[in-house]
Amino acid sequence: MPTARLFHIDAFTGAPFAGNPAMVCLLPEGPPADARWMAALAADVNLSETVYLRPTADDPDHDFEIRWFTPKREVDLCGHATLASAHALYTAGVSSPSNPIRLRSNSGTLTVTAEPGGHLIWMDFPSTPALAVRSEQRRARALGALGLGSANFIGETSSGDLLIEADSPATVADLEPDFRALGEIPATRGFAVTARTRGGKGAPDFVSRFFAPACGIDEDPVTGSAHCALAPFWAERIGEDDLLAQQVSARGGTVRCRVVDGRTHLGGEAVTIYEATVPLPTGRQPVDV
């Protein structure tokens, strides 16, 4: 029976059992796997993200096709699972840290590189700037569900997230959202709540938390894709294009951010927890999810 390799990896952390866990599934060359099977495996794994990599020998412009699934649905971009994918490819000897990895995705071509040694990995993503939300009803529902009385700014990104600037890092850390109410706000993937810190040498420039109950994730430990909006937002306000971010979830994680020519470069480390294999479906049989 054909199998695929699995890698359980913690991303945006240099230590195990922190950062954001992802399951990386390295598929063999050949036709794409059945999307229903991929969704079923992601639901069974039940991590915030399961990512699938398929070699693209027939495509000279890309090395792999990449697809991301939450326990509930496929998404167009996921930062921590992309970081985990590169880490898996490097540590398994499939790709060399000295060469870029070119990924074909629903968000266009993504390029991943590693600094010497391969520990710090950089991802080149499209920026998704937030535009101010004009609907007072939507603003009020978001603030109420988050337990916030007010916000300095509420904006919506092209990925369907709401970015909310709170008044302080303490406010962000102390949030106790109503996840059911958040999940019922229409056309919203998730909620990135953020605040500026005092910064300083080695300290983060801003903090955030990310909630996505509509995707089956009440709180995501570290959300790379959200930083495609957070980094441009804070770069403009702080006046710096090179920023250090901290996601202050229970597990916590560090994201290095660079805003370059309308793109957001995200950097981080990752740690492998375990490796395994999974049987591939034969005959493309249906999978109920």
- Cα 184 from Cα 194, distance rounded (Å): 21
Indicate which residue of 49, 156, 165, 269 is catalytic. 49
Decide the pairing of beta strands 263-268 and 121-126.
antiparallel
Alpha-helix runs per DSSP H in the chain: 35-45, 79-91, 136-146, 169-173, 179-183, 227-238
Catalytic: 49?
yes
- Which residues are CB-neighbours of 179 under 8 A, at least 6 positions away? 211, 213, 218
- Cα 225 from Cα 241, distance rounded (Å): 17
For 50, 57, 124, 153, 232, the CA distances from 260, given in Å and listed in that order, are: 28, 30, 9, 23, 9
Residue found under tokens 């326990």: 71
Secondary structure element (H or E) that encloses residue 121, with its range = strand 121-126
- Cα 69 from Cα 204, distance rounded (Å): 29
Residues taking part in catalysis: 49
